[in-house]
């Protein structure tokens, strides 16, 4: 109250005294969490608008949010494989911020920042304040969490809500807690389920655990979750019948599980950004994570082992259950790193227990500090390095510019939606099975890095190279038709040019069927 009263009196010295009083009135732990939350905000917001929209973000920005609210909710039903909560909140958010990169992504960034104090409370519930601080630090700089805090999709909100659900699950396990904690667990579990269907896996684990420990006290929470599940079931069945997630099964389960381990420690550094995996970079954080769990086994007492075992068990079953379903029924195999993100915060909390053991305090501090420093450095590097960012389609579109004549653009199939968005020329994707014949005057090949010129037999007679330039990590090689009029597009063959991507696609603009 003295500080508040001092603010009513003018003068520089009184303001200084008021600020000092406010600082003294807060605990050391409060300020540590505040610093870590500020760090998380800086890492996420500083480069939030620098990267181009990625493939899935284009769906959010162009297919769902620009329309009216109910049109947006309808679009979720026919174009997505996720529940509507994120899109409803993002629609409201973008009425103020707009759908440009910074404005739309800021909602995810805010959710990512909010997860940091939640991680502190999780660690505190597991083993006390020191563990809470360690958990908050790990969450603040984890590359996977930073990446999806800068993505205009539901995953950051998904992590926040499942983390809150896990927090109230822990609180409900305590004997002194009553039905209020169980009700909060049910509410946050329901909200998580309304954000992403994979929330069902941690909430089933937590529900079974709570039923075994709290019995009838769990009924209010279970009723809330069951109600949400019944409301979402028709939408889930409709979306499943549309097959929007069937592409996941095109990659082997083993490859996806390996990618999940990589992503949890390094973020999205491989195929999702059209780059090769970097297994050597994951060696340091992997060894530090294993060391934390090893310390729990070797130096932890009974309470510390139990504190680490709870989040490890929840995380393990969160991942193992969908894997088992996928093995039993490949048509229901939706295992993917970002779908398994509810396991990440509990895993980081378990590591925090290992880094704050009573009998390994100094070693734990050293190992935990190394992991935080490595994660922070990698997150910063990924935010500014073109090799680790989302591809820069905005710059490519600026160089390509308006079509001077009917043209084809050959590039990464997963980048076509982004390039089409930034071109704003009415470009459209074409595939050979459509059976149209196209006449063009220009072909532009956009490659990932410097690649050999495509053989002229892929283009057909009459096309000659007219330009070659670098745009960030991309190279644009232009060919023009030198014959009279326009030349036919060899749609089936130009797609086989070596452009450094796994799959190529073709965009056309300034053109109609020939």
Rounded Cα gap, residues 68 and 466, in angstroms: 45
3-state secondary structure of 443: strand
Side-chain half-sphere exposure of 62, counting CA atoms within 13 A: 14
Report pLDDT for 69: 93
Report pLDDT for 6: 44
Report pLDDT for 214: 77
Report pLDDT for 8: 46
Report pLDDT for 107: 97
Which tokens is 468 given?
């070659």
Report pLDDT for 21: 63
Contact 155, 385 (CB under 8 A): no
Q: Which of 375, 378, 319, 321 is nearest to 346 (CA)?
A: 319
| CA dist list (Å): 94 to 76, 145, 153, 482 | 16, 22, 13, 47
Report pLDDT for 19: 59
CA 268 to chain centre: 8
Q: Which of 490, 486, 479 is nearest to 511 (CA)?
A: 486
| CA dist list (Å): 144 to 111, 150, 367 | 14, 10, 20
Report pLDDT for 9: 47
Report pLDDT for 335: 87
162, containing H or E segment: helix 155-173
Reduce the secondary structure of 376-391 to three states and give it as a string.
HHHHHHHHHCCCCCCC
| CA dist list (Å): 267 to 273, 428, 512 | 11, 31, 41
Q: Which of 262, 264, 255, 254 is nearest to 351 (CA)?
A: 264
Give me the residues of the chain with pLDDT under 70, please. Answer: 1-16, 18-25, 175-178, 512-514
Q: Which of 470, 450, 507 is nearest to 396 (CA)?
A: 470
């Amino acid at each position: 109250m003295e500080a508040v009263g001092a603010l009513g009196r003018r003068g520089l010295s009184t303001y200084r005294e008021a600020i000092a009083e406010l600082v003294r009135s807060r605990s050391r732990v409060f300020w540590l969490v505040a610093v870590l939350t500020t760090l998380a905000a800086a890492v996420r917001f500083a480069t939030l608008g620098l990267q181009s929209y990625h493939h899935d973000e284009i769906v959010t920005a162009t297919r769902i949010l620009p329309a009216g609210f109910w049109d947006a909710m309808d679009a979720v039903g026919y174009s997505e494989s996720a529940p509507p909560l994120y899109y409803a909140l993002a629609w409201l958010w973008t009425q103020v911020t707009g759908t440009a990169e910074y404005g739309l992504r800021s909602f995810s960034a805010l959710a990512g920042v909010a997860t940091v104090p939640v991680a502190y409370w999780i660690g505190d519930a597991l083993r006390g304040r020191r563990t809470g601080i360690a958990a908050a630090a790990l969450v603040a700089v984890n590359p996977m969490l930073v990446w999806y805090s800068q993505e205009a999709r539901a995953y950051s909100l998904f992590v926040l809500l499942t983390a809150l659900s896990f927090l109230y699950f822990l609180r409900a396990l305590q004997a002194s807690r009553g039905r209020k904690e169980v009700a909060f667990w049910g509410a946050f579990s329901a909200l998580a389920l309304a954000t992403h269907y994979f929330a069902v896996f941690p909430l089933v684990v937590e529900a079974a655990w709570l039923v075994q420990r709290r019995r009838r006290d769990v009924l209010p929470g279970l009723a809330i979750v069951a109600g949400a599940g019944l409301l979402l079931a028709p939408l889930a069945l409709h979306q499943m019948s549309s097959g929007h997630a069937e592409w996941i099964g095109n990659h082997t389960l083993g490859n996806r599980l390996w990618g999940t381990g990589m992503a949890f420690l390094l973020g999205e550094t491989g195929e999702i950004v059209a780059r090769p995996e970097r297994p050597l970079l994951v060696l340091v954080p992997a060894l530090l994570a294993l060391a934390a769990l090893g310390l729990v086994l070797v130096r932890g007492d009974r309470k510390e082992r139990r504190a680490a075992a709870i989040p490890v068990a929840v995380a393990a079953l969160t991942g193992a259950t969908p894997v088992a379903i996928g093995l039993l029924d490949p048509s229901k195999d939706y295992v993917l790193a970002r779908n398994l993100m509810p396991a990440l915060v509990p895993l980081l909390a378990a590591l925090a227990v290992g880094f704050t053991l009573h009998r390994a305090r100094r070693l734990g501090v050293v190992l935990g500090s190394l992991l935080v420093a490595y994660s922070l450095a990698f997150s910063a590097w990924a935010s500014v390095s073109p090799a680790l960012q989302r591809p820069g389609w905005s710059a490519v579109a600026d160089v390509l510019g308006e079509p001077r004549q009917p043209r084809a653009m050959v590039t990464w199939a997963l980048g076509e939606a982004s390039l089409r968005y930034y071109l704003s020329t009415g470009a459209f994707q074409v595939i050979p099975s459509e059976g149209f014949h196209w006449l063009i005057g220009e072909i532009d090949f956009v490659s990932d890095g410097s690649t050999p010129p495509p053989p002229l037999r892929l283009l057909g007679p009459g096309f000659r190279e007219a330009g070659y330039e670098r745009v960030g990590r991309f190279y644009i090689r232009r060919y023009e038709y030198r014959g009279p009029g326009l030349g036919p597009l060899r749609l089936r063959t130009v797609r086989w040019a070596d452009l450094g991507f796994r799959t190529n696609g073709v965009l056309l603009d300034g053109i109609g069927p020939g």
